[in-house]
Structure formats: C-alpha cells, structure tokens
Amino acid sequence: MTTSRVHITPHMHWDREWYFTTEESRILLVNNMEEIMLRLENDPEYKYYVLDGQTAVLEDYFAIKPENKQRVKALVEAGKLIVGPWYSQTDTMQVSGESIVRNMLYGMRDCLALGEPMKIGYLPDSFSMSSQLPMIYNGFDIETAMFWRGCSERHGTDKTEFLWQSNDGSEVMAQVLPLGYAIGKYLPQDEEGLRARLDKYFPVLEKPSVTKDILLPNGHDQMPIQKDIFEVMDKLREIYPDREFVMSRFEEVFDRIREERDNLDTIKGEFNDGKYMRVHRTISSTRMDIKLIHAEVENKIVNILEPLAAIAWTLGFEYHHGLVEKMWKESMKNHAHDSIGCCCSDKVHAEILNRYILADDMATNLITFYKRKIVDHMPACEGCDKLAFFNLSPYEREEVINTTITIRADKFNLFDNEGNPVEYFIQDQRVIDPGKIDRQIVHYGNYDPFIEYDIQIKYTVPAMGFTTLHIQGSQDGAQKAVKSTSEYLENEFYQISVNSNGTLTVLDKETQMTFDQVLRVEDGSDDGDEYDYSPSRQEWLLYSDEFDVDTSIKHEASSLLRPSKHA
C-alpha cells in the first residue's frame, strides 16, 4: 500500500539581490539558464523546470542573452520551462494592494509574450501573506496559491491544503510548504544521507496532508540543476518502497487537491504567524529612508500620475504607457521580499535607493509634463496668469489649499472663469531676482523683480477633474483677513491643543474622549540584525517630553499653526 505520492519538482528560487548584488546574481543566472535549457531540450524525461514564478529574472537574462529569447519561448510554449505569474517575488505586507496587482499584471503580460504563465499564486519565500491575495488572484483567473511563511494551526486548520478566502468571498485552493521550498535541494545518492534528511521530513509532510500528495521541491536559492536527480529518485524508490516518487509540476498537486475539495477546511485572513517559520515582522521599520521613498513613489504613481494621465488622455493627449511601465518596473524590482524588507547589504540598499530615485524622477517629470499640457488646454484670460487646481479623487472636494504663485506685481486679483472674485490669504511673500526666473529676461535689460506669494484659498474642485482661476497683476483682490484668536486647531470632529512639552491633547468631539501625550516620541537603540529588532541589553531611552520646548501660535485665514521647537 502506498503511503504517499512524493512530487519532485525541479526549480530555483531566485533572489535578484540580497547579501549579493543584482549583477553578481546575473553572472550565476547566465550560467544556470544555459544548464537548464540544455537539459530541457535534450532530456525528454526531465520534463519541467519552475523559474521561480517571476519574469524579472528573464528580463535580467535577456539583457545579456537576447539571442536566446526564442529558445526560452520554445521551452515555455512546450510547457517545459514554467514561468510567471509575477514580475518579481513581491512582498505582500510592505507594498500596497495596487502594487501587488501591477506586479501580477506586468508579470502575466511578460509571460504571454513567451507562452502560457503558471496560473498559481506562487510566493515561496515572502514573509507573510496579505488577506486580500485570493481576491487579487481571482481577478487574474488564478484559483490556486502556494506559499511557505506565516501559517500555523492557530489560523484554524492543521492541514497543509485548505480553501483560503478574502473578505469579499474570493477563494483559492492553498497548498502550504510546511518545511519551505528547499527541502529537496542537493539530494544525495546514498541511503544514509537521504534517510538523515527524509526520515525527519516525511512525517512532517504527510501528517497534515489531506491528499497524501506531498511536495519535495528540488531546488534552492541560486541553485543550479541537480544533474543526477533521476539516480537519486531510483535510490528513493529503493529506500522507501511504500512511497511513489514522480517528477511533476505544481499543477499536478493541485489536481489532487481539487479531488478532495469537499474535505478541505476554509480559512480567512492574513498569514503572519511565526510559530513554525520566521516572518520577520520588524522589517517594517528597517531602513526607513527607503521605506519612506517607497511610499512616496507608490503614492505619486498611483494617486497623482495615473489619474492625471487619464484626465490628459480624455483631452486628446497620449497616455504614456511605456514610461509608466518603466517606473513601475523599477519600483517592483524593489518590491521583492528581501529588497523592500531592506534586509540586504549596504551596497544592495544603495541600488534599491537609486531605483526609487529614478522612478521618482520619472514620475515627477511626467506629472509636470501632463500638468502643463492640461493647463495649456484650459481657457485663458488676456493679460492674466492661470492658477490650476487638480482633484484626483473620485469625489468632489472643498479644501483649504496652500500654494505659491510668482508674478511681477506688488498686488493681484484672483477670479474664476465667470469673473467672480475669489478670496485668498497671503501667508508670506518674497522678492525674487528675475534672473532666477528667466535668465533671458536679464539679458534684455529687464531687471524688475518678481514677487513670490504663499497663499491660502478655500475652494471646491470637481471629482477627477480640475478648475482654473485667473491672476490679474497690479489689481486689488479679495484679500482675506485673519479673524480667529483661538489657541486650538479645531473643526467639527476634533479639538487639538499643543502642550508646553511639545505633545498634543486631542479631544474627539463625537465620543468626548481625550487623548493626552499624543506625539510623545521615544528614541531607543536596536541590537538586532537586518531582519529582527531586539532591544539592547543596557537600553538608554530618550523621550521627547524630557526636553524644553518653545511653542508659538500663528493664525491664518483658514487654519491655525502652532509650531514647536525642541531646545
């Protein structure tokens, strides 16, 4: 009687960078790819090879070996070289949901240029699993998921196969790799060596399995193919005659799980339990300089650039898909679990930061380009400058807007398209040398200065749209005066005051709850490693309220500012 069927799947897990750089791994990649392709092309028994579920590795390879693209394509079309569905092996907790969707979108598209993608949500090493992944997978017609980290019986099942649901009811069949993706790496040919490993592994794999079809992934990080795998499999059949050993692809395991669907538990929620494997939760706070520019670039592309590009497209301007893809891919190379986790070497972190700087520069300049195109499209008023406001949210917004205008006038009038005056408040103003605005002006002998005004306006802007105001220099305008003398920052929901120690007291008017010592900052040390935080054995903690603080109140037309400065 067969105890279990053991599926041996050749694969490699490819960290593009980690304690080594992308270029260091690329050198190994060129060699590994040649070995993989030669074996797949010349050995009909060596049926499959999984290329880590990401196409970025192929992008790196084709940059050096473009002449081999047809060889790769032929193997993908034949179903032997298994690619995708991701662009990079994304983390799912440190990046936004939109980034996860784009990662799959660009990965799928890259795959389809070569053949069919692997339709499995394959994340063998990402440090936790977001609860919304089943919904994202279903959106790409993916009904199965395979992962390692974050799962234990505390989630509601002690089985390695189950149905995993998002909050909206989207569902995938999940296969957990309870011992990881590398338990079949470098399998020895001798009985002693095999038993030393597998006598411990098989009970752990078989006990929680519903199907008794268990996985022995034959690969590891940057690992070349195991050339003697068939000799090893013959030895395994000899040592373990009660088990069946087959070389297969992951889809064959899910075929068996599908047969047992009615016997599977249903689980909801995220997987971030570190009971059996490390999930490195504290990577969320490593290298905050990189985490912050990541968040800035993500927000700039998703919430500013792309809505702006859509508005420009409706006006007849080109939607620059190629430029947008370039900045997304630069960012998504950084979304791989080690990269965005910032648990790499300093040299690699410098590369990660440079990619974000590149993506940010591209996004910033394309935003400026679109804004100019749209503003040029707006109606002009003779002798006036334009002041344009954009609302890139899907609802109308009435906001207090702080902006800066630069004109050659010591006063100005602000009005809308119907000629109605618009109130404004001048926060500050500065005289600007004309040469800093346009050097050509000075060449022609025009030395009259410009004045830069920081102004505040309360105005309504339509949903996913824009509005134009007009600036007429050297005219009196509807300048607003300061009326409030309150010492609180207040609206219908909250009342906020600044304490003498630099902290805030916040009153929630709806619940009548008061929150004291808001923004009290604790500064301590970290004696951990690049993955995990650990407090120092002899900790020295500093608190912001232990220092003298100077505070001042500044009233503006539509807001109250109370800057604080630690002495």
Domain 4-281 class, CATH top level? alpha beta
Which residue intervals of the chain bear CATH 1.20.1270.50?
284-377
**Prediction pTM value:** 0.91
Q: Which of 125, 213, 338, 360 is catalytic?
A: 125
* pLDDT number for residue 520: 95
* pLDDT number for residue 562: 47
Look over the chain and give the mean of its residue pLDDT values, rounded to a whole number: 94
- Dist. CA 265–CA 235, nearest whole Å: 36
The two three-digit tokens of residue 38, written as one number: 């030669």
Task: Please write the tens of the pLDDT for every residue from 66-95.
Answer: 999 999 999 999 999 999 999 999 999 999
Q: Please, are residues 326 and 90 in contact by the beta-carbon 8 Å criterion? A: no
Q: If you write DSSP's letter for every residue of 141-193 in order, what string do you get? A: T--EEEE-TT--GGGS---SEEEEE-TTS-EEEEEE-TT-S-TTTT--SSHHH
Task: Please write the tens of the pLDDT for every residue from 407-421.
Answer: 999 999 999 999 999
Distances in Å between the Cα of 7 and the Cα atoms of 178, 218, 249, 351, 553 are 15, 10, 8, 38, 70
Known catalytic residue at 125: yes
Which residue intervals of the chain bear CATH 3.20.110.10?
4-281
Whether the pLDDT of residue 566 is over 70: the answer is no
Which residue intervals of the chain bear CATH 2.60.40.2210?
385-473
- Dist. CA 12–CA 452, nearest whole Å: 58
Q: Output the CATH code of domain 284-377.
A: 1.20.1270.50
Whether the pLDDT of residue 433 is over 90: the answer is no
Whether the pLDDT of residue 555 is over 90: the answer is no
Whether the pLDDT of residue 117 is over 50: the answer is yes
Across 272-289, average pLDDT: 92
- Dist. CA 471–CA 457, nearest whole Å: 13
If one compares 112 and 448, the residue with the highest pLDDT of the two is 112
Q: Please, are residues 370 and 309 in contact by the beta-carbon 8 Å criterion? A: yes
Whether the pLDDT of residue 353 is over 70: the answer is yes
If one compares 481 and 562, the residue with the highest pLDDT of the two is 481
Torsion angle in degrees (nearest 10) through CA of 521, 522, 527, 533: -60
Of the listed ranges 59-73, 184-198, 298-312, 527-541, the one predicted with least confidence: 527-541
Using DSSP, state whether 51 is helix, strand or coil: coil
385-473 topology per CATH: Immunoglobulin-like (2.60.40)
